[in-house]
Structure 1
Amino acid sequence: MRRTISIVAAAALGAAIAVTNAVVVAAPAGAATISMRGADVSSLQRSLDLGAKYYNASGTAADPLDILKGIGLNYVRLRIWNNPVSGYNNLSKVLVQARAAKAKGLQLMIDFHYSDTWADPGKQYKPAAWSSHNIGALQSDVYNYTLSVCNALKSQGTTPDSVQIGNEINVGMLWNDGKVVNNDFTNLSLLLKQGYNATKACNSGTQVIIHTADADSDANARWFYDGIRAKGVPWDITGLSYYCMWHGTLANLSTVINDVRTRYGKPVILAETAYPFTAANADSEANAINGSAPCSGYPATWQGQASNFTAVQNTARTAGAIGVFYWEPTWYAIKGNGWAPENINGTGDQWDNMTLFDWTGHINPNVRWTP
C-alpha cells in the first residue's frame, strides 16, 4: 500500500460507492480459520529508533509486538526495498526486524517491492541499479536478489514463512519491462517465475504469495490471475488488498474471495486492510483517508475502527480466506518517520489516523485478531 493523495482522491471518486458495510458478518459454523493473523509493521523500527513509546490497554508501556501478540497477532509482514535513500526497509533493517519478530514466536512474511521506494497499482519503479536492464537482465536480477535476501534471513535463523513476489502488482511490476500491456502477461510471468524459483531454492517450505489490490472487482481479479495462470506462473497463496473506502462492500469482498479461492484452488489472504479511528490529523501531512465515516456504518472512532476490522475478518473467514493483515498499525505520527523514503525527515505521516495506536501510543482497546 502507498497511494499519494491525488491517487486516493481519484480512487475515492471512482469508489464513492455507497459503501453499505455496516452489518458485521457473523462467522457461521464450518467457516475457515484465520490462521495468518498479521500486521505490516515495516515502519516500526524507525519509530522505535526515534523514541516512540507504546502502551497496552491497561496503560502500561510495553513492546508493541507483545501488545499486538496479546490481542491475537501471530504474523508480521515486512516490506523490503532494494536501496532506499532513507536507509530503512532495506536488507540490514529487515534482518533486525525479522530477528525481533521471530524472537516473539511470530511468523514472518517478506514483501518484495523490487524498487527503491513504494510500489503499488499506480507505480512500479525499477530500482536505480536495475534502471537500464532489459527483461533478460531483470529475470536474473529478480532471481538473484530474492535468493540473496531469503538466504540472508535463513542464515540468521529467521527463514521467512512466506514472501510476496511484488506488491499490489495489478498491471505488473518493474515497469515498463514487466508491465502488462495489451493483455500480454509474458514479461511479468517471466519475472514472477524467477521470484518463485528463487524462493523455493532458498527454502521449499516458504509460501509464495502473488498480491494485487483487486478485491474491488472479480472481473479484474480474474483478468490478472487468469493471465498469469495461462503463462504457467506457480504460486501458493493469492493475496488481495481490501480498504472499504476504495474497494467496496463486504458483500463484494466475499464474492471476490470465494471466486478466486475456488477458481485457482489456492488459499486466499487479505494482505492489507485498515480503517481510521479519527478524522483528525496529527501533523502537517494530509491524511490519506478523510471523513467522519469513510465507509457507511463505521464512524472514524476507536469503536468504529474495531467494528470494521472485526467485520472484515468475519467476512474473510466466511468466504474461506485464511489470513488478514492490518497495514501499519504502529505508524502513529513521529517526527522524522515521514511518508517519503527520499525525505523521511522532512515529510509527515499520511497514516496517523489509521493506526491501531493513538497519537500518544495507546492501543485501541477494542481491537482483536480472531481465528
Structure 2
Amino acid sequence: MSGPSHPLRTAAAALGAVLLAAGLVAGPAPSPVRAAATITNPGFESSGASQTPTGWSESSSSGQQSASFTEAGGRSGNYRLSHWASGAYRVETYQQLTGLGNGSYTLRAWVRSGGGQVAAYLALRNCGGAEQRVSIPTASSWTQVSVTAQVSGGQCTAAIVSDARAGNWINVDDVEFTGGGTGNPGGAAQIRGVDISTLLKSQDRGGVYRDSAGTQRDPLQLLTSNGVNYARLKVWVNPADGYNNRARVLTMASRIKAQGMRLLVDFHYSDSWADPGKQNKPAAWSGYSFNQLRDAVYNHTYDVLNALKAQGTTADMVQVGNEINDGMLWPDGRSNNWANLAALLTAGSNAVKAVNSSTQVMLHLAEGGNNSQHRWWFDQATSRGVPFDVIGVSHYLYWHGSLGSLQANLNDLASRYGRPVLVAETAYGFTLNADDGEPNIFNSSSQSAGGYPATPQGQADALRAVFDVVRSVPNGRGLGVFYWEPTWTAVAGNGWDPTNPSSGNGWENQALFDYGDRALPGLAVFGSV
C-alpha cells in the first residue's frame, strides 16, 4: 500500500504441514462450536423452479411474496434463489434454525446483484442478541459474503432480504450456516495479520488505543487478544523522519515477537513510499551502476534481516519489493527490462535465505483481481528462475474490483504456480467523516465502489468477506490476510509525508479504532476467521 492518494498512489494438507514446519503459520486454532442444525436446501435444488423453495419461508410486508422465487442458473447445480419484481417490493426468504449450542455462528452465501436497492442483505436475527447484517454488494459475478452472530437460546433465523425498487434484482446460491466458520473449505485462517508500520510513531506522538469498552490498552496486546497472529513492518532505507528504518524496525520487531506474533518484513527499497505508481531509488543509491544497485539490494536486505536475527527476532516472511507490478528501483528495474528486474529480485531473495533458509520470500503485486497482468508478471518471474515461496496481492474493494475477481485470481495463481497465496493488504472505511484536516482516501465514491456501507459493521463485514475468499482457495493454499494500518489513527505529527511533520492522515477512517480510540467490530473479526 502506498497510503494517501495524491503522491502515494498514481495509478492441501501436505502444503499446510510444510508451512507449519517452516514456522510460516501458527498451529491449528481450537475446535470451534459446531452447528446442531444446518440450512435445508442450501443450493435451492430440491424444488427446482418454484415460488417457494423447499425448506424456506417467504414474507413480505406488502404481500409481494412472489418477488422471491427459484429459477434456472445456479452458481453450482441448476437453480438459484432470485428476488425481482416489476414494481417496488420488499421481500425476505428465511429459515429458522433450532437446536443450536451457544456460540458464534456464521451465515455465508454466494450472491450477485444489479444494485440500486434501498437495502439488500443477509441477516441473522432472533439469535439471542442484536440482529447482524451484511450487505449484498453490486456484482455481476458470483461473490461470497458472510455475517456472524452470537447464538444463545438455541435458535437463530437466517434471512435473505430485499427492500427494492422496480426491476432491482439479486441472485443467491450455496448458502451455509456453520459454527465458528467451520464450513469454509480452507478452515481457520492461518495468517491473521496487520501492517502496523506507523504504530511506533503514533505512540511516540501521543497516540493511545482502547478496547471496545474504552479501557486504554497496549495496542499489541489488544491486537493479539483479538486473534491477530502476524505483524507486517515496512522498511525504508533512509527516511526523512527516521521511522521505518532499520533501527525502528528492530524496536518494533522486539515488541511484536514478545507478543508471540510472527513477523513479515516489507522492503520498499526506497526512502519513502513505493507502489505501482512510483518506485524511486533511495538517494544514497541514485548514482549506482546496475551491478552496484543489485549488490545494494542484497546488502541492505541482508543487513536488516541479520540484525533482526541477531536480536532474536528472525523474520518469518519477507517481501522483496512492495506492489511491484511495474518493477522496482526505476528505471533500472522497471518491468520493461525483466532481465534487470529478475536480477534484483533474485538478489533480494538470496539475501533472505542467506540469513535464514526457512524465512519465506513473498513477491507482492497490487490489483488483486487483475488476473491477466498477474499471469504475465509471474510467468516472467518464473521463466527467469526468480526464487520465491509465497504470492501476495493487495486488494482494496473500492480500488481493485470485486471479491469475485479476487477469488478467481487467487485460485488461478495458486494452481498455476503451485505456491500459497495471501492478501498482503486490504482495508475499508467505517465512516465517511474525517478526524483531521487531510482529505480521506475512502469517501462516498469508495463506499459505492466497495459495495459495503461505511459503518463499523460494514467495515467488519468487508474484512470478513476478504478472509472468506482467501480461505476458500483450493488445496489449503489460501494463507490469510493482512489488514493495512489498523492503528493509523489521526495523531498530530504522524501524517502521510515523512518529509513534512505537519502533514495529515488520509487513512484514519479505515483504521480499526474509532475517533475515540476504541476498538471497532472489525478487530474482532480476526478471532473468528
Listed as ranges, the matches of 1:129-208 within 5 Å are 129-181=284-336, 184-208=337-361
**Alignment correspondent of 1:321:** 478
**Alignment correspondent of 1:333:** 490
Q: Is the 8 A contact 1:78 1:111 kept in 2?
A: yes
Aligned amino acid, residue 119 of structure 1: A
Q: Is the 8 A contact 2:297 2:348 kept in 1?
A: yes
SS at 2:525's partner residue? coil
Q: Does 1:363 align with 2:519?
A: yes
Cα displacement (A) at 1:6: 4.3
Structure 1 residues 18-75: Cα deviation after superposition (integer angstroms, max 9, x where no partner): 8626851566443254211100000000111112111112221111111111111000
Q: Is the 8 A contact 1:81 1:112 kept in 2?
A: yes
Structure 2 distance, partners of 1:301, 1:267, is 32
**Alignment correspondent of 2:464:** 310
When you count helix as a share of all residues, which structure comes out higher?
1
Task: Select the structure with the greater relative contact order (CA < 8 A; seq sep ≥ 6).
Answer: 1
Cα displacement (A) at 1:283: 1.1
| 1:273 equivalent among 400, 403, 426 | 426
Corresponding pairs, count: 363
Q: Does 1:342 align with 2:462?
A: no
Structure 1 distance, partners of 2:271, 2:8, is 22
Cα displacement (A) at 1:10: 7.2
Cα displacement (A) at 1:214: 3.2
| TM-score w.r.t. length of structure 1 | 0.93
**Alignment correspondent of 1:227:** 380
Structure 1 distance, partners of 2:508, 2:341, is 34
| 1:257 equivalent among 406, 410, 414 | 410
**Alignment correspondent of 2:138:** 20
Distance 1:225 1:214, change over 3 A: farther
SS at 1:326's partner residue? strand
Aligned amino acid, residue 200 of structure 1: K
Q: Higher Cα Rg: structure 1 or 2? A: 2
Cα displacement (A) at 1:8: 8.6
Q: Does 1:354 align with 2:510?
A: yes
Structure 2 residue runs of 5 or longer lacking an equivalent are 12-113, 116-136, 147-175
Distance 1:151 1:217, change over 3 A: same
| 2:234 equivalent among 75, 79, 92 | 79
Structure 2 distance, partners of 1:259, 1:337, is 39
Structure 2 distance, partners of 1:269, 1:254, is 11
SS at 2:349's partner residue? helix
**Alignment correspondent of 2:454:** 300
Cα displacement (A) at 1:216: 2.4
**Alignment correspondent of 2:189:** 34
Structure 1 distance, partners of 2:509, 2:263, is 26
Cα displacement (A) at 1:360: 2.1
Structure 2 distance, partners of 1:188, 1:7, is 24
Structure 1 distance, partners of 2:195, 2:489, is 13
Structure 2 distance, partners of 1:5, 1:61, is 31
| 1:99 equivalent among 254, 260, 263 | 254
Structure 1 residues 311-335: Cα deviation after superposition (integer angstroms, max 9, x where no partner): 1101111124112000000001000
Structure 2 distance, partners of 1:368, 1:96, is 27
**Alignment correspondent of 2:33:** none
SS at 1:78's partner residue? strand
**Which shifted more, 236-245 or 290-299?**
290-299
Structure 2 distance, partners of 1:97, 1:164, is 17
Q: Is the 8 A contact 1:280 1:353 kept in 2?
A: yes
Q: Is the 8 A contact 2:328 2:341 kept in 1?
A: yes
Structure 2 distance, partners of 1:296, 1:41, is 23
| TM-score w.r.t. length of structure 2 | 0.66
Structure 1 distance, partners of 2:8, 2:433, is 17
Distance 1:295 1:304, change over 3 A: farther
SS at 2:220's partner residue? helix
Structure 1 distance, partners of 2:504, 2:206, is 16
When you count strand as a share of all residues, which structure comes out higher?
2
**Alignment correspondent of 2:99:** none
**Alignment correspondent of 1:14:** none
Distance 1:291 1:7, change over 3 A: farther
Structure 2 distance, partners of 1:4, 1:161, is 28
Structure 2 distance, partners of 1:336, 1:149, is 26
Structure 1 residues 216-251: Cα deviation after superposition (integer angstroms, max 9, x where no partner): 210011011111111110100000000001111111
SS at 1:186's partner residue? helix
Structure 2 distance, partners of 1:31, 1:223, is 27
Dislocated runs of 4+, deviation >6 Å: 7-10
Q: Is the 8 A contact 1:32 1:322 kept in 2?
A: no
Structure 1 residue runs of 5 or longer lacking an equivalent are 12-16
